[in-house]
A and B are shown apart, each in its own frame.
Chain A
Amino acid sequence: MNRILFWPLWAGFWTIIGLVNFGSALIFMRRIQPGIPAWQPLVWELSSVYVIGLLLVPLVVYATRHLEFRRDRWKRVLVAHFALTVPFSLLHTSGMVAIRKAVYWMAGLSYDYSSGNLAGAVLYEFYKDILSYWMIVLIAIGFQYYNRYRERDRQLAEVQLQNLRQQLNPHFLFNTLNMISSKMYEDVAQADAMIARLSDLLRMTLRTSRQPEVPLRTDLEALDLYLEIMKARFGDAIQVDLNVDAHAHEALAPSLILQPLVENAFRHGVNGQAASGRIRIRASVSDHTLTLRVSDNGPGFQDSREAILNRGFGLSNTAARLQQLYGDQHRLDLNNSDGGGAEVVIRIPYRVA
């Protein structure tokens, strides 16, 4: 919301609450003290809600943000909130009494708050304030959750968009189109076949944004299309070695999880020594875990894990997707294997559609 507009609207909101309270207070007071001027109950109610709305609500919201109910410390947070009710009520009472005294003084009158029983009056306000305090806390927590939910939604959308952009990798797309345009002069049937493969792959890519997880079998089909296109582009120089456990075929995996890893292996591992490039892909299931391994025989990872994952594409996108889908329940390891070459290992919970 507009920052400049917020505070006037906020004050207006509390004025309305004060006016509603004033209505009920006026009817009540006119019954027990018929001649009371209307402005007096108005001052009582407005002073009360303004102190709450303009002073105490911001303070309580601030406190709520720092006193988060978490599983490991909810008891302490609860005690802290109960303790805070006391200063809350004292501030409320003293604040509104100060305002009332000031207004009465300006009207040439004097305001008597407690009629001699200060402790009783303060206790009376305190009981009412317990309810106000907790209402504010609950609403603040509600807003917190709502904001967090919206933020997650936004992040999810961002990851999805990035994902799509990566899979629709323009570099891959235009190079593939170039390969097809070359094939057209040599073998029309094969060029045609490549257009069909590319179309299938694009369709699968577009589906990814709607379907975050697919059986690994589906992902392997997409990988097949990708590899066929890569083979047409680079020839048979690169050997791809696929080994998938029988159980793994039906396991749910993030859609198009393998392709970026294989692409990475193509780009960094295999390339440059085209004659002997070799990519190994393994999928296995054990202990309720699906393990996916993609390794190459290139020079291996040259940078730290952080540096690689902060580069903003490829593996960093994979890491973000895994975090989004599985939270703490996944592992992503980047290793350099003994024989040289990079290896990416993903471990996620084994589930079947």
Chain B
Amino acid sequence: MRVLIVDDEPPARRKLAEFLRRERDVEISGEAANGMQAAELIDELQPDVVFLDVQMPGMNGFEVLETIHGRIPFVVFVTAYDQYAVKAFEVHAVDYLLKPFDRNRLQACLSRVRDQIGRDSGRDIQARVEKLIAEATGRAYLNRVMVKNKGRIIFLQVRDIDWIKALSNYVELHAGAQTYLLRDTMSSLEARLDPAAFARVHRSVIVNRDRIRELQPWSHNDYLLIMKDGTEIRMSRRYHKNL
């Protein structure tokens, strides 16, 4: 399995790397020293397992996962001391390691991971982790997303998105003059957006309710949405009730 190590303390990363290198089936695909780097590398390397430090400056472990899209990797949380987090891990049956740990502990953890990766199709784990993140960040909905623009990584605040359009395997996020691509599906994204702030108005369009300027009747009971920036979006009949 391909593993990503995330910790803001170099010795902590070195120790984990040292232990993991001795495992035959483990390949260390990268190391991240802070939350932003972690989010980037998870997206770029698509590791199977992430050893994720919980307390990190800027963006903590939970916030890292919050910004990740599509496939959340199998996560092992690593923490030195945090009673509340540990309780949450227990409740949601998510794996964690307490620092400091010895090699036996890590191996026990790894064998649990091997077990679960083989058994769960990933869906189950993802659902559990998502619940945990919502609880830990106190937010039921997505707060920011990580997007790429001309090779740069941007952490886009969800409230800054004007509207979203579906492309085949991607969605297109329109925020001001910028357009970003995100690897995600319409329905998965819709499920994570706050329905009080965003509404699906078409099979392939979600709009930010705040950015709608007016609603004009269109043919066949359809409507035309005119956004504050002048963009016109067709709204199909079956989504009327969403607005």
**A170 touching B81 in the complex, CB below 8 Å, given contacts A178-B99, A186-B14, A272-B58:** yes
A39 at interface (Cβ–Cβ under 8 A)?
A: no
Is there contact, CB below 8 Å, between A274 and B34?
yes
**A171 touching B80 in the complex, CB below 8 Å, given contacts A186-B14, A274-B33:** yes
Distance from A102 Cβ to chain B, minimum over Cβ atoms (Å): 65
Is there contact, CB below 8 Å, between A174 and B100?
yes
Is there contact, CB below 8 Å, between A178 and B8?
no
Q: Which residues of A contact B99 (CB under 8 A)?
A: 174-175, 177-178
- With most chain A CB atoms within 10 A of its CB, the pick from B11, B15, B57, B102 is B11
Chain A residues numbered 282-299 whose CB sits less than 8 Å from any CB in chain B? none
B10 at interface (Cβ–Cβ under 8 A)?
A: yes
Q: Which residues of A contact B11 (CB under 8 A)?
A: 178-179, 182-183, 232-233
A185 at interface (Cβ–Cβ under 8 A)?
A: yes
Bound: A327/B81 CA distance, A: 34
Is there contact, CB below 8 Å, between A185 and B34?
no
Is there contact, CB below 8 Å, between A185 and B15?
yes
Q: Which residues of B contact A271 (CB under 8 A)?
A: 8, 56-58
Distance from B109 Cβ to chain A, minimum over Cβ atoms (Å): 15
- With most chain A CB atoms within 10 A of its CB, the pick from B8, B34, B55, B56 is B8
Residue of A nearest to B35 (CB): A272
A120 at interface (Cβ–Cβ under 8 A)?
A: no
Residue of B nearest to A267 (CB): B57
B233 at interface (Cβ–Cβ under 8 A)?
A: no
B23 at interface (Cβ–Cβ under 8 A)?
A: no
Q: Which residues of B contact A235 (CB under 8 A)?
A: 10
Q: Which residues of B contact A177 (CB under 8 A)?
A: 99-100
Distance from A43 Cβ to chain B, minimum over Cβ atoms (Å): 66
Bound: A170/B79 CA distance, A: 11
A181 at interface (Cβ–Cβ under 8 A)?
A: yes
**A175 touching B18 in the complex, CB below 8 Å, given contacts A274-B33, A274-B34:** no
Distance from B87 Cβ to chain A, minimum over Cβ atoms (Å): 15
A124 at interface (Cβ–Cβ under 8 A)?
A: no
**Size range of the chain B interface in the assembly:** 20 to 34
Bound: A186/B19 CA distance, A: 13
Bound: A175/B13 CA distance, A: 12
Among B10, B14, B55, B58, which residue has its beta carbon within 8 angstroms of that of A234? B10
Bound: A175/B12 CA distance, A: 8
Bound: A233/B15 CA distance, A: 12
Among A178, A186, A267, which residue has its beta carbon within 8 angstroms of that of B80? A178
- With most chain B CB atoms within 10 A of its CB, the pick from A174, A178, A186 is A178
Residue of A nearest to B17 (CB): A182
Residue of A nearest to B36 (CB): A272
Q: Which residues of A contact B56 (CB under 8 A)?
A: 271
Residue of B nearest to A175 (CB): B80
Is there contact, CB below 8 Å, between B81 and A234?
no
B135 at interface (Cβ–Cβ under 8 A)?
A: no
Residue of B nearest to A185 (CB): B18
**A182 touching B14 in the complex, CB below 8 Å, given contacts A170-B81, A233-B9, A274-B8:** yes
B93-113 Cβ-contact flags toward A at 8 Å (1 or 0): 000001110100000000000
Bound: A184/B55 CA distance, A: 23
Q: Which residues of B contact A175 (CB under 8 A)?
A: 9, 12, 80, 99
Q: Which residues of A contact B58 (CB under 8 A)?
A: 271-272
Residue of B nearest to A233 (CB): B9
Distance from A80 Cβ to chain B, minimum over Cβ atoms (Å): 53
**A174 touching B81 in the complex, CB below 8 Å, given contacts A179-B11, A233-B9:** yes
Is there contact, CB below 8 Å, between B100 and A234?
no
Residue of A nearest to B78 (CB): A178
Among B8, B15, B33, B80, which residue has its beta carbon within 8 angstroms of that of A174? B80
Distance from A90 Cβ to chain B, minimum over Cβ atoms (Å): 63
Report which A residues bind B (CB closer than 8 A): 170-171, 173-175, 177-183, 185-186, 232-235, 267, 271-272, 274
12 contacts between A and B (CB under 8 A): A174-B98, A174-B99, A177-B100, A181-B100, A182-B11, A233-B10, A233-B12, A271-B58, A272-B34, A274-B8, A274-B33, A274-B34
Those 10 A-B pairs whose CB atoms lie nearest each other, nearest first: A271-B57, A182-B15, A272-B58, A174-B80, A182-B11, A178-B100, A178-B99, A181-B100, A170-B81, A272-B57
